[in-house]
Amino acid sequence: MDDIVFLVEGPDDKRFVEAVLKPQIAGKPDIVKYSQKSTSDVNSLVRAFAGACREHYYVTDLDRGEPERGNCQDCDDREAHEQDRYDILDPFDVLVAVDAIEGWLLAGVSDAVATEGEVPVPRTTDHVGKDEFDDVFERATFSRKELFVEKILNDYDYDLARERNDSFDYVASAVDL
């Protein structure tokens, strides 16, 4: 087991952490999905990693206003909700993607990718969720969404991402990017 672990919600979160965060972090962090696991399995993972790793990150989307996700309105609400939902205590840092991981993804669209695909990147992606990301994709000229995502991940602009998304800027600072 490595010194750093990321517990991530689903496959899009895992892909983002693997492509964007992992290459910038010294060592090779473990990245584990928790979305399909039972509460007791997630709690077991948290306990196992808490005792074995030096740095611990739990990544979740804000999903503002979704009742089935706690109807959280800000990062503090989401962090408290997730800590109540699972036994996420110190030493885990809860990293909240506002509104969703797609906001972090869109925040890092480089100038080259924006030009190539005629991507209408918003000045801020702090309120971008899945639907808003899909709207941007539909206005871009990439033929497939997977190609669009791949282009972003392969040429991710960390500086632009920090400017365009406050929660990504927080995460970049938390993991020392």
Residue in 98, 95, 31 with CA at minimum distance from that of residue 58: 95
Helices (H), the chain: 11-16, 39-52, 75-85, 101-107, 111-116, 130-139, 145-154, 158-164, 166-174
**Quick one: average pLDDT of 78-99?**
75
- Only one residue has tokens 């948290």, namely 46
- Tell me whether residue 155 is in a domain: yes
Comparison of pLDDT for 156 and 47, the residue scoring more: 156
Question: Could you tell me how far CA 152 lies from the centroid of its own chain?
Answer: 14
Over residues 134-147, the pLDDT tens digits come to 999 999 999 999 99
Residues 85, 149 within the same domain: no
Q: Is residue 172 part of a domain?
A: no
pLDDT band for position 1 (cuts 50, 70, 90)? very low
- The single-letter code of the amino acid at 169 is D
CB atoms closer than 10 angstroms to residue 45: 18
Residue range 19-78, pLDDT digits in tens? 999 998 887 888 999 888 888 998 888 888 877 777 888 888 777 656 666 667 777 777
Domain termination site, one of 97, 118, 141: 97
Q: Same structural domain for residues 107 and 158?
A: yes
The answer to whether residues 60 and 90 belong to one domain is: yes
Residue partners of 164: CB distance under 8 A and separation at least 6:
106, 107, 108, 121, 122, 123, 124, 125
In a domain, 175, yes or no: no
Q: Is residue 51 part of a domain?
A: yes
Shared domain check, 62 and 19: yes
Distance CA 58, CA 172 (A): 14
Whole-number pLDDT of residue 65: 59
Residues 9 and 56 in one domain: yes
> Exposure pattern of 64-89 as b/e (b: 16+ CB <10 Å)?
beeeebbebeebeebbebbeeebbbe
Tell me, yes or no, whether 26 lies in a domain.
yes
Same domain, 12 and 88: yes
- Does 174 fall in a domain? no
Q: How many domains does the chain have?
A: 2
Listed residues 77, 97, 117: the one ending a domain: 97
- Which is more confident, 96 or 110? 110
